[in-house]
């Protein structure tokens, strides 16, 4: 897994290329090779691990939503946090995100969980850990991905200005502690999980606040609605 092999989007490649030469990345490569050699199923597919960067170039980032690790169920993860493949049932945390958007902005609740429409508008949907073993939540934590994604946050923090960071839950808030709140808009709330959403995620106002901040800076706000998917994709949702 070198920067050439993963075909990292060009605007990200320049600041992140040195990471692929670091010892932690070689250890991560060795770990992933060993897992695959042992016959373990890894999500997302190798070509989709860096999908968030492909959809949202560095110079296009307006909003960062920080997740923890990919969904570990069959057919779910495709490299964007909180997002699932077309035809996959909408996960509970994403359902709660939709409810909050509906409450804030009056937008209809989508019937699917495929969030590439957001990513293509400048919403970086970044997990802290970029891979996981099938049916084993958090199985790739502590293997090196966190170092890489810490560097991603550092790059956005230092090279961009006026980015909205949505940090939901204590894990995301700890990871985002380095963000300069003088340069960026930092929004914090409990995680949208059913276990914590009622402790302050509902009513957080983040989606409206993000758009007001972007508009105040002369930027186009995010359209938080989601277009319907083609019938063949959405039929099983």
- Confidence band for 6, pLDDT divided at 50, 70 and 90: low
Of the chain, the percentage scoring pLDDT greater than 90 comes to 92
> Is residue 157 over pLDDT 70?
yes
Which residue in 59, 69, 120, 150 is the catalytic one?
69
Is 69 designated active site? Answer: yes
Q: Give me the pLDDT at residue 233, please.
A: 42
136: DSSP letter: B
Among candidate residues 68, 23, 75, the one with its CA nearest the CA of residue 236: 75
**Helix boundaries (H) for 108-223:** 116-119, 145-159, 169-175, 206-216
**DSSP single-letter state for residue 128:** S
Return the axis-axis angle of helices 206-216 and 92-105, rounded to nearest 10°. Answer: 60
Contact criterion met (CB below 8 Å) for 90 and 237 = yes
Question: Residue ranges of the alpha helices (H) in the chain?
Answer: 3-6, 10-16, 23-37, 51-55, 92-105, 116-119, 145-159, 169-175, 206-216, 231-234
> pLDDT over 70 for what percent of the chain?
95
**Region 97-124: what's the mean pLDDT?**
98
Q: Is the pLDDT of residue 217 over 50?
A: yes
Confidence check: pLDDT of 5 > 70: no
pLDDT 10s digits, 29-56: 999 999 999 999 999 999 999 999 999 9
Domain ranges within the chain, ordered by starting residue:
10-216
**Spatial distance between the Cα atoms of 145 and 130, rounded to a whole number of angstroms:** 6
10-216 topology per CATH: Uracil-DNA Glycosylase, subunit E (3.40.470)
Residue 235 has pLDDT above 60, yes or no: no
Maximum alpha-carbon separation in the chain: 52
Say how far apart CA 127 and CA 117 lie, in whole Å.
Answer: 17
Quick check: 166 pLDDT over 90?
A: yes
> What does pTM read for this prediction?
0.95
């Amino acid at each position: 897994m070198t920067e050439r092999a993963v075909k990292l989007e060009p605007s990200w490649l320049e600041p992140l290329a040195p990471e692929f030469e670091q010892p932690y990345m070689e250890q991560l490569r060795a770990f992933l090779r060993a897992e695959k050699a042992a016959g373990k199923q890894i999500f997302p597919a190798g070509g989709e691990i860096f999908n968030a960067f492909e959809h949202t170039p560095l110079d296009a980032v307006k909003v960062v939503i920080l997740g923890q690790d990919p969904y570990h169920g069959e057919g779910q993860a495709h490299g964007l946090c909180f997002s699932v493949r077309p035809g996959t049932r909408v996960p509970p945390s994403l359902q709660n995100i939709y409810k909050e958007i509906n409450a804030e902005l009056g937008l209809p609740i989508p019937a699917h969980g495929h969030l590439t429409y957001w990513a293509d508008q400048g919403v970086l949907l970044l997990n802290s850990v970029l891979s996981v073993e099938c049916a084993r939540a958090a199985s790739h934590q502590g293997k090196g991905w966190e170092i890489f994604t810490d560097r991603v946050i550092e790059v956005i923090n230092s090279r961009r200005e006026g980015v909205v960071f949505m940090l939901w839950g204590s894990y995301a808030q700890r990871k985002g502690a380095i963000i300069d709140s003088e340069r960026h808009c930092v929004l914090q709330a409990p995680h949208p999980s059913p276990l914590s959403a009622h402790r302050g995620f509902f009513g957080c106002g983040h989606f409206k606040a993000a758009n007001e901040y972007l508009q105040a800076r002369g930027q186009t706000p995010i359209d938080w609605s989601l277009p319907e998917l083609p019938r063949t994709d959405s039929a099983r949702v």
